[in-house]
Structure 1
Amino acid sequence: MLKFDKIVQVSFLGGQLVYLVTLFLFLALLFSIWKDNRSVLNPILLISFLIMSYFSVGSFFYERGFGVAHDILFGLGFIILPLIVFFSGIFLIYNGIILLKKEGKSKANLLSLLAGFGVVGFFLLIYIRIQYYQFFINSKLLNVLIVSISWSFLIFGVAFLGFMLYSMLYLFMPKGKQYDFIIIHGAGLLGGERVSPLLEKRILKAIEAYNVLDDKNVKLIVSGGQGPDEKISEAKAMADYIKNNTPLSNEAVLLEDKSTTTYENLLFAKALGETLKPHPRFLFVTNDYHVFRTSMFAKKIKMAGDGLGCKTASYYIPSAFIREFIAGVVYLKWLFVALYVPLVLLLLYSYFG
């Protein structure tokens, strides 16, 4: 009886700890967003809070004796969720084929297709591992390979989910009403000199934002250099489009025509703005999938302001988000390297422990 009481006590304390950790993560997330909603810490806190919330709800059901609800909850987590991930892989393959048909072959357009094959391939690997259990159990090298792949799938899958969810959440966060400059990020030109439909959406979104601002002294900064296959700079093409298709005066538009990357768009536009006004605030306009990563760069260069996204063709979004995530992983590469330390320690222990 004493042993059973100890088990109940440990279970109770474990449940309380789960609740406390969940509450701490929630408060930390709110504080971090309040302090700076562009922080790279926010997606980490968000996905950690959601995971702990799941276990908190499960613990609550268990403690209250709601056995059916508890079983359903964990069934969703350990059966339905893997099925969703598997069919997401199928969807990515389908989406990748559609993207290639509409946009043509390129390395960037292959991303969703390759990601889909990676997801489906992982599940196939796990199926083979279960079917040929005895064969794998006798091979340490194969087991190390399976564990390493599974660990990679887990950390990159969870990280991608956190990045995607917070990127979506960031789009709906309240924006300021006072800005000094609106930056329009450049994109590739049609025929080397004409604004593409994607770039046109950015321009129209920026003008929409300009029209609702009370201060009409706000300047638009069209930002983008001239690529090797372009006849004019992206900034010049955007300025020409605004001049020919909108009522805005030439004085309202400033050109930044030296940048070649998103980071340089922000860096050079910030420098241009600071020559005209001390401590300016910026609103940078790009596509919705691109806003949060752009905001990370803005934070890095200590730019005051917010990001605003315009809509993107639905078939293009999965590949675009994957590309943004890869860029985010590169940006935080040492964090992901650190996440492999527990795996290395576990493998060393399994061999020599």
Structure 2
Amino acid sequence: MLNTSPYKKPLVFLCFLVGVTLTIDSTILMTRHNFGFGVTFPFCVGIGLLSIAWRWQRLHAWLNQRKHRLLLWRLFWAGALIWLSTVAAFFYFIQAGHDIDIHTIRQPVRTILVLGGGTRDCLPRPTLAERLDLAFEWAQRLPDTKLVVSGGQDPGEQCTEAQVMANYLHQRGLPENRLLQEGMSTNTFENLAFSKQIMSEHGISTTDGLLIITSDFHSVRSRQIALKAGFNNLASAGAETPLSLRYNSWLREYFSFVRGWIVGDY
């Protein structure tokens, strides 16, 4: 019987510990107006695990009443372990790094495109600040490029991400005539599509070299979407995600990557 297993207490504690961690982490992110699937799904999983830990004895008494219930319960956890293995593989894939060096593309880089990553009180959040600092480094190395900063208005904010990004880079020392703002986008595909239009208005073609600046976890997907949007000569540089946000950001990207594959974003 499952409810007499010597592993009962460790399993209950594990469900409780993981449930609390996921619930608290997701709740903090939701208080920051982040309600994406990569936040709400872990929240639901956390609540589910807490419920299992709380009703462990009653749940297993119910399971033990029918053999098929025990079988479905075991199949459920087997499926969960398989899913977790795919998440671990995805994390390893991100950790390995998959940026594309600018020397591998056919045309010189004319544009640096910086993708938005969240603002608060009209200031960049830590993830976005890392992207902007990396963009500034590349702007110093490539002084003849234009920088397109791309991002719309976050919920509850009075300014667009593009405005915040341009102000940040200008305060670091970049002249305003190098900065082009795209302030309407709400997702990565719109980042690329709307930025392409602005670049075209300034005589920059999709065949010219483009360097995409984003976060480490977002580098591969953003390149694939850029190809779908019509860009041909791509390089990318991924900023390191702050440790306090890293694994939650990677988990959200896992779901975004799968969703993009399903709906045909790339």
User: Does the CA contact (< 8 Å) of 2:100 and 2:234 recur in 1?
Assistant: no
Q: 250-259 or 229-238: which moved more?
A: 229-238
Instruction: Evaluate the alpha carbon distance shift between residue 179 and residue 119 of structure 1 in structure 2; reply closer, same or farther with a 3 A threshold.
Output: farther
Q: Which residue of 1 aligns with 2:180?
A: 254
Instruction: Evaluate the alpha carbon distance shift between residue 146 and residue 334 of structure 1 in structure 2; reply closer, same or farther with a 3 A threshold.
Output: farther
Q: Which residue of 2 aligns with 1:207?
A: 136
Aligned partner of residue 113 in structure 2, secondary structure: strand
Aligned with 1:180 (options 110, 115, 119): 110
Instruction: Evaluate the alpha carbon distance shift between residue 322 and residue 179 of structure 1 in structure 2; reply closer, same or farther with a 3 A threshold.
Output: same
Instruction: Evaluate the alpha carbon distance shift between residue 110 and residue 319 of structure 1 in structure 2; reply closer, same or farther with a 3 A threshold.
Output: farther
Aligned partner of residue 238 in structure 2, secondary structure: strand
Instruction: Evaluate the alpha carbon distance shift between residue 280 and residue 291 of structure 1 in structure 2; reply closer, same or farther with a 3 A threshold.
Output: same
Aligned with 1:323 (options 211, 233, 252): 252
Alpha-carbon displacement from aligned partner over 1:38-81 (angstroms, at most 9, x marks no partner) = xxxxxxxxxxxxxxxxxxxxxxxxxxxxxxxxxxxxxxxxxxxx
- Alignment length (residue pairs): 238
* Residues 1:158 and 2:62 aligned together: no
Corresponding letter in the other structure for 1:233: T
User: Does the CA contact (< 8 Å) of 2:116 and 2:150 recur in 1?
Assistant: yes
Aligned with 1:290 (options 210, 218, 225): 218
Aligned partner of residue 180 in structure 1, secondary structure: strand
- Structure 1 residue 250: Cα displacement: 1.6
Corresponding letter in the other structure for 1:298: A
Q: Which residue of 1 aligns with 2:166?
A: 239
**Whose helix proportion is higher, 1 or 2?**
1
User: Does the CA contact (< 8 Å) of 1:96 and 1:110 recur in 2?
Assistant: no
Instruction: Evaluate the alpha carbon distance shift between residue 208 and residue 112 of structure 1 in structure 2; reply closer, same or farther with a 3 A threshold.
Output: farther
Task: Give matches, 1:73-92, under 5 Å.
Answer: 90=17
Aligned partner of residue 230 in structure 1, secondary structure: coil
Q: Distance in 2 between matches of 1:135 and 1:306?
A: 57
User: Does the CA contact (< 8 Å) of 2:100 and 2:235 recur in 1?
Assistant: no
Task: Give matches, 1:24-173, under 5 Å.
Answer: 90=17, 93-94=20-21, 97=24, 104=31, 107=35, 135=64, 139-140=67-68, 142-144=70-72, 146-147=74-75, 149-150=76-77, 152-171=79-98, 173=99
* Residues 1:271 and 2:201 aligned together: no
Alpha-carbon displacement from aligned partner over 1:74-121 (angstroms, at most 9, x marks no partner) = xxxxxxxxx9xx979956854764675698476455655655677899
Q: Distance in 2 between matches of 1:150 and 1:228?
A: 37
- Structure 1 residue 196: Cα displacement: 3.5
Q: 1 or 2 for the larger relative contact order (CA 8 Å, sep ≥6)?
A: 2
User: Does the CA contact (< 8 Å) of 1:93 and 1:112 recur in 2?
Assistant: no
- Structure 1 residue 207: Cα displacement: 1.0
Instruction: Evaluate the alpha carbon distance shift between residue 121 and residue 270 of structure 1 in structure 2; reply closer, same or farther with a 3 A threshold.
Output: farther
The structure that has the greater radius of gyration is 1
Q: Distance in 1 between matches of 2:148 and 2:177?
A: 11
* Residues 1:307 and 2:236 aligned together: yes
Q: Distance in 2 between matches of 1:88 and 1:273?
A: 50
Please report the RMSD computed on the Cα atoms of aligned residues, expressed in angstroms. Answer: 3.8
Question: Any gaps of 5 or more consecutive residues in structure 1?
Answer: 1-82, 336-353
TM-score by structure 1 length?
A: 0.55
* Residues 1:229 and 2:156 aligned together: yes
Q: Which residue of 2 aligns with 1:79?
A: none
Alpha-carbon displacement from aligned partner over 1:249-296 (angstroms, at most 9, x marks no partner) = 222111112211121111221333344233122222122222233233
* Residues 1:219 and 2:146 aligned together: yes
Question: Any gaps of 5 or more consecutive residues in structure 2?
Answer: 1-9
Instruction: Evaluate the alpha carbon distance shift between residue 121 and residue 280 of structure 1 in structure 2; reply closer, same or farther with a 3 A threshold.
Output: farther
Alpha-carbon displacement from aligned partner over 1:124-152 (angstroms, at most 9, x marks no partner) = 8xx99xx99x947x5335524542x2453
Instruction: Evaluate the alpha carbon distance shift between residue 231 and residue 107 of structure 1 in structure 2; reply closer, same or farther with a 3 A threshold.
Output: closer
Instruction: Evaluate the alpha carbon distance shift between residue 153 and residue 232 of structure 1 in structure 2; reply closer, same or farther with a 3 A threshold.
Output: same
Aligned partner of residue 102 in structure 2, secondary structure: coil
Corresponding letter in the other structure for 2:168: Y
User: Percentage identity across aligned positions?
Assistant: 23
Q: Distance in 1 between matches of 2:14 and 2:166?
A: 44
TM-score by structure 2 length?
A: 0.71
